[in-house]
Amino acid sequence: MLFLLLVGCADTDTLTFDTLKLNKQATLPNGEACEDCPKVTIAVPKAIENSKIGNTINTALEEEIISLLLFDDELTVNNMGDAIVSFNNGYQEMKTLFEDESPGWEAEINGEVIFEDAGLLTIELNAYVFTGGAHGYTSKRFLNFDKTKGTELENWELFKSSRNFKAFAEAKFREQEAIPKDKSINYTGLMFEKEHFYLPENIGFTKEGVQLLYNPYEVASYADGAIILTLSYKDVRPFLRSKEKS
Protein backbone atom coordinates (compact mmCIF):
# COMPACT_ATOMS: atom_id res chain seq x y z
CA MET A 1 0.00 0.00 0.00
CA LEU A 2 2.42 2.68 1.09
CA PHE A 3 5.99 3.37 1.69
CA LEU A 4 7.10 4.44 5.11
CA LEU A 5 10.50 3.43 6.44
CA LEU A 6 11.08 6.38 8.76
CA VAL A 7 14.40 5.17 10.05
CA GLY A 8 17.73 6.86 10.52
CA CYS A 9 19.80 4.82 8.07
CA ALA A 10 21.30 6.40 4.99
CA ASP A 11 19.19 6.31 1.85
CA THR A 12 20.97 6.49 -1.47
CA ASP A 13 17.75 6.27 -3.47
CA THR A 14 17.17 10.03 -3.42
CA LEU A 15 15.82 12.26 -6.15
CA THR A 16 17.94 14.96 -7.73
CA PHE A 17 16.78 18.56 -7.59
CA ASP A 18 17.83 21.88 -9.02
CA THR A 19 16.42 25.22 -7.81
CA LEU A 20 13.87 27.05 -9.91
CA LYS A 21 14.53 30.75 -9.30
CA LEU A 22 12.46 33.68 -10.48
CA ASN A 23 12.91 37.31 -9.46
CA LYS A 24 10.55 39.47 -11.43
CA GLN A 25 9.15 42.98 -11.27
CA ALA A 26 5.76 42.93 -12.94
CA THR A 27 5.01 45.48 -15.66
CA LEU A 28 2.03 47.58 -16.65
CA PRO A 29 -0.54 45.93 -18.96
CA ASN A 30 1.06 47.77 -21.91
CA GLY A 31 4.43 46.23 -21.06
CA GLU A 32 5.98 49.36 -19.57
CA ALA A 33 7.99 49.10 -16.35
CA CYS A 34 6.78 50.77 -13.19
CA GLU A 35 8.49 51.22 -9.84
CA ASP A 36 5.48 50.23 -7.76
CA CYS A 37 4.40 47.21 -9.80
CA PRO A 38 4.32 43.98 -7.75
CA LYS A 39 7.58 42.19 -7.11
CA VAL A 40 7.53 38.40 -7.20
CA THR A 41 10.40 36.26 -5.92
CA ILE A 42 10.31 32.46 -6.25
CA ALA A 43 12.90 29.84 -5.28
CA VAL A 44 11.59 26.27 -5.18
CA PRO A 45 12.96 22.77 -5.84
CA LYS A 46 12.70 21.43 -9.38
CA ALA A 47 13.04 17.71 -9.97
CA ILE A 48 15.65 17.04 -12.63
CA GLU A 49 14.80 13.54 -13.79
CA ASN A 50 12.09 13.00 -16.38
CA SER A 51 9.99 10.48 -14.47
CA LYS A 52 6.45 10.19 -13.18
CA ILE A 53 7.39 11.29 -9.67
CA GLY A 54 9.56 14.13 -11.00
CA ASN A 55 6.76 15.44 -13.19
CA THR A 56 4.25 15.06 -10.37
CA ILE A 57 6.41 17.10 -7.98
CA ASN A 58 7.05 19.88 -10.49
CA THR A 59 3.38 20.09 -11.46
CA ALA A 60 2.23 20.18 -7.82
CA LEU A 61 4.64 22.99 -6.97
CA GLU A 62 3.58 25.03 -9.98
CA GLU A 63 -0.10 24.60 -9.07
CA GLU A 64 0.57 25.78 -5.51
CA ILE A 65 2.42 28.86 -6.75
CA ILE A 66 -0.38 29.67 -9.18
CA SER A 67 -2.97 29.45 -6.40
CA LEU A 68 -0.96 31.91 -4.29
CA LEU A 69 -0.67 34.47 -7.10
CA LEU A 70 -4.09 34.13 -8.74
CA PHE A 71 -5.99 37.43 -8.41
CA ASP A 72 -7.70 37.83 -11.77
CA ASP A 73 -10.65 35.50 -12.28
CA GLU A 74 -11.07 36.57 -15.90
CA LEU A 75 -7.56 35.46 -16.88
CA THR A 76 -6.84 31.87 -17.89
CA VAL A 77 -3.76 30.85 -15.90
CA ASN A 78 -1.74 27.84 -17.07
CA ASN A 79 1.74 28.60 -15.75
CA MET A 80 3.72 30.77 -13.33
CA GLY A 81 4.18 33.50 -15.93
CA ASP A 82 0.41 33.80 -16.32
CA ALA A 83 0.05 33.78 -12.52
CA ILE A 84 2.38 36.77 -12.18
CA VAL A 85 0.29 38.61 -14.79
CA SER A 86 -2.82 37.76 -12.76
CA PHE A 87 -1.16 39.05 -9.57
CA ASN A 88 -0.25 42.30 -11.33
CA ASN A 89 -3.76 42.68 -12.77
CA GLY A 90 -5.18 42.40 -9.27
CA TYR A 91 -2.86 45.14 -8.07
CA GLN A 92 -3.63 47.43 -11.01
CA GLU A 93 -7.38 47.01 -10.45
CA MET A 94 -7.01 47.80 -6.75
CA LYS A 95 -4.86 50.83 -7.53
CA THR A 96 -7.52 52.13 -9.92
CA LEU A 97 -10.20 51.84 -7.25
CA PHE A 98 -8.12 53.13 -4.33
CA GLU A 99 -5.31 55.19 -5.85
CA ASP A 100 -4.29 56.84 -2.59
CA GLU A 101 -4.40 53.64 -0.54
CA SER A 102 -2.56 51.09 -2.67
CA PRO A 103 0.93 50.30 -1.38
CA GLY A 104 2.95 48.04 -3.66
CA TRP A 105 2.13 44.34 -3.61
CA GLU A 106 4.77 41.66 -3.29
CA ALA A 107 5.06 37.90 -3.09
CA GLU A 108 7.96 35.77 -1.90
CA ILE A 109 7.70 31.99 -2.24
CA ASN A 110 10.42 29.55 -1.16
CA GLY A 111 10.49 25.77 -0.97
CA GLU A 112 12.78 22.96 0.14
CA VAL A 113 12.82 19.20 0.53
CA ILE A 114 12.59 18.56 4.28
CA PHE A 115 12.19 14.77 4.35
CA GLU A 116 12.96 11.86 2.06
CA ASP A 117 13.26 8.13 2.49
CA ALA A 118 12.99 5.26 0.00
CA GLY A 119 9.27 5.76 -0.53
CA LEU A 120 8.25 9.18 0.72
CA LEU A 121 9.26 12.77 0.04
CA THR A 122 7.98 15.96 1.71
CA ILE A 123 8.43 19.49 0.43
CA GLU A 124 7.84 22.55 2.59
CA LEU A 125 6.57 25.60 0.73
CA ASN A 126 6.77 28.96 2.54
CA ALA A 127 5.00 32.04 1.22
CA TYR A 128 4.70 35.70 2.13
CA VAL A 129 2.10 37.63 0.15
CA PHE A 130 1.32 41.31 0.71
CA THR A 131 -1.74 42.76 -1.01
CA GLY A 132 -2.34 45.80 1.16
CA GLY A 133 -3.69 46.20 4.65
CA ALA A 134 -1.86 46.29 7.96
CA HIS A 135 0.39 43.34 7.14
CA GLY A 136 1.06 40.60 4.64
CA TYR A 137 0.06 36.98 5.06
CA THR A 138 2.64 34.32 5.85
CA SER A 139 1.78 30.69 5.26
CA LYS A 140 3.41 27.28 5.05
CA ARG A 141 2.32 24.31 2.98
CA PHE A 142 3.44 20.67 3.15
CA LEU A 143 3.39 18.57 -0.02
CA ASN A 144 3.82 14.82 0.47
CA PHE A 145 4.66 12.42 -2.36
CA ASP A 146 4.68 8.65 -2.77
CA LYS A 147 7.89 8.07 -4.73
CA THR A 148 6.99 4.47 -5.60
CA LYS A 149 3.65 5.31 -7.22
CA GLY A 150 4.72 8.74 -8.43
CA THR A 151 1.72 10.45 -6.86
CA GLU A 152 0.98 13.31 -4.49
CA LEU A 153 -0.55 12.14 -1.23
CA GLU A 154 -3.67 13.47 0.45
CA ASN A 155 -3.61 13.58 4.25
CA TRP A 156 -6.07 10.70 4.60
CA GLU A 157 -3.68 8.48 2.63
CA LEU A 158 -0.98 8.85 5.29
CA PHE A 159 -2.79 6.96 8.04
CA LYS A 160 -4.43 3.59 8.56
CA SER A 161 -7.39 5.37 10.17
CA SER A 162 -7.77 9.14 10.11
CA ARG A 163 -10.32 8.87 12.92
CA ASN A 164 -7.92 7.03 15.23
CA PHE A 165 -5.06 9.36 14.40
CA LYS A 166 -7.23 12.41 15.02
CA ALA A 167 -8.16 11.14 18.49
CA PHE A 168 -4.48 10.57 19.28
CA ALA A 169 -3.49 13.97 17.89
CA GLU A 170 -6.19 15.75 19.88
CA ALA A 171 -4.91 14.25 23.13
CA LYS A 172 -1.37 15.42 22.31
CA PHE A 173 -2.65 18.83 21.19
CA ARG A 174 -4.58 19.35 24.43
CA GLU A 175 -1.48 18.38 26.39
CA GLN A 176 0.69 20.85 24.50
CA GLU A 177 -1.81 23.72 24.71
CA ALA A 178 -2.82 22.97 28.34
CA ILE A 179 -6.47 22.36 27.45
CA PRO A 180 -8.27 20.16 30.05
CA LYS A 181 -9.77 16.94 28.71
CA ASP A 182 -13.23 17.85 29.98
CA LYS A 183 -13.25 21.35 28.47
CA SER A 184 -14.01 22.68 24.99
CA ILE A 185 -11.09 22.65 22.56
CA ASN A 186 -11.51 26.46 22.49
CA TYR A 187 -11.21 26.74 26.28
CA THR A 188 -7.92 28.68 26.07
CA GLY A 189 -9.08 31.06 23.35
CA LEU A 190 -8.61 29.04 20.17
CA MET A 191 -11.15 29.26 17.36
CA PHE A 192 -11.91 25.74 16.11
CA GLU A 193 -15.18 25.79 14.19
CA LYS A 194 -18.13 24.31 16.09
CA GLU A 195 -15.73 23.86 19.04
CA HIS A 196 -14.53 20.49 17.79
CA PHE A 197 -10.91 19.53 17.19
CA TYR A 198 -9.94 18.72 13.61
CA LEU A 199 -6.70 17.95 11.85
CA PRO A 200 -5.03 20.79 9.94
CA GLU A 201 -4.83 21.00 6.18
CA ASN A 202 -1.06 20.75 6.48
CA ILE A 203 0.55 17.56 7.77
CA GLY A 204 4.16 16.90 6.85
CA PHE A 205 7.11 14.64 7.60
CA THR A 206 10.19 16.28 9.09
CA LYS A 207 13.43 15.02 10.63
CA GLU A 208 11.91 15.55 14.08
CA GLY A 209 8.60 13.79 13.43
CA VAL A 210 5.18 14.22 11.86
CA GLN A 211 4.25 17.88 12.03
CA LEU A 212 0.70 19.21 12.24
CA LEU A 213 0.58 22.84 11.16
CA TYR A 214 -2.28 25.31 11.63
CA ASN A 215 -1.49 28.46 9.67
CA PRO A 216 -2.52 31.90 11.02
CA TYR A 217 -6.30 32.38 11.07
CA GLU A 218 -7.04 28.63 10.84
CA VAL A 219 -7.72 28.10 14.53
CA ALA A 220 -6.31 31.26 16.13
CA SER A 221 -5.80 34.96 15.45
CA TYR A 222 -3.04 36.31 13.22
CA ALA A 223 -1.27 37.65 16.30
CA ASP A 224 -1.00 34.11 17.68
CA GLY A 225 0.93 33.02 14.60
CA ALA A 226 1.07 29.45 13.36
CA ILE A 227 0.30 26.67 15.83
CA ILE A 228 2.52 23.62 15.39
CA LEU A 229 2.32 20.17 16.94
CA THR A 230 5.24 17.82 16.26
CA LEU A 231 4.66 14.13 17.01
CA SER A 232 7.60 11.76 17.29
CA TYR A 233 7.82 8.86 14.84
CA LYS A 234 7.88 6.49 17.78
CA ASP A 235 4.45 7.74 18.84
CA VAL A 236 2.85 7.93 15.40
CA ARG A 237 4.28 4.76 13.89
CA PRO A 238 1.22 2.65 14.87
CA PHE A 239 -1.03 5.05 12.94
CA LEU A 240 1.00 5.27 9.73
CA ARG A 241 0.22 3.07 6.79
CA SER A 242 2.65 0.19 6.67
CA LYS A 243 5.14 -0.71 3.98
CA GLU A 244 3.45 -4.08 3.46
CA LYS A 245 2.00 -4.70 0.05
CA SER A 246 -1.76 -4.69 -0.28
Predicted confidence at residue 9, as pLDDT, reads 41
* Position 12 pLDDT exceeds 80: no
Give 21's pLDDT tier (boundaries 50, 70, 90). Answer: very high
Helices (H) and strands (E) counted in the chain, each on its own, are 4, 9
> Which of the listed residues 136, 153, 170 is the one where a domain comes to its end?
153
Q: Look at 61-70, 128-137, 146-155 and tell me which has the smallest mean pLDDT.
A: 128-137
Q: What is the pLDDT of residue 75?
A: 77
Residues 185 and 103 in one domain: no
| Whole-prediction pTM | 0.88
Contact status, residue 114 vs residue 207, Cβ threshold 8 Å: yes
In three-state secondary structure terms, 112 is strand
Q: Residue 127 and residue 188: Cα distance in Å, rounded?
A: 28
Residues 71 and 83 in one domain: yes
Mark whether 50 and 75 lie in a shared domain.
Answer: yes
Q: Is residue 166 part of a domain?
A: yes
The mean pLDDT value for 60-72 works out to 93
Query: What is the layout of strands, in order, in the sheet containing 210-214?
Result: 202-205, 210-214, 227-231
Does the pLDDT of residue 170 top 50, yes or no?
yes
**Would 114 be classed as within a structural domain?**
yes
Q: What's the mean per-residue pLDDT of the chain?
A: 88
Q: What is the per-residue pLDDT for 47?
A: 97
In a domain, 185, yes or no: yes
Domain extent, residue 162, equals 155-239
Amino acid 242: pLDDT: 57
Give yes or no for a contact between 41 and 19, defined as CB atoms under 8 angstroms apart.
no
Is the domain of 149 the same as that of 167?
A: no
Report whether pLDDT(89) > 90. no
> How far is Cα 132 from Cα 148, in angstroms, rounded to an integer?
43
- Across 165-192, average pLDDT: 97
Is pLDDT larger for residue 27 or for residue 212? 212
Are residues 141 and 161 located together in one domain of the fold? no
Q: 128-141 in b/e burial notation, b at 16+ Cβ within 10 A?
A: bbbbeeeeeebbbb
Task: State mean pLDDT over 23-33.
Answer: 75
CA-to-CA distance for 168 and 117, rounded, in angstroms?
Answer: 25
- Per-residue pLDDT band for 96 (boundaries 50, 70, 90) equals confident
Instruction: Give the three-state DSSP class for 110.
Output: strand
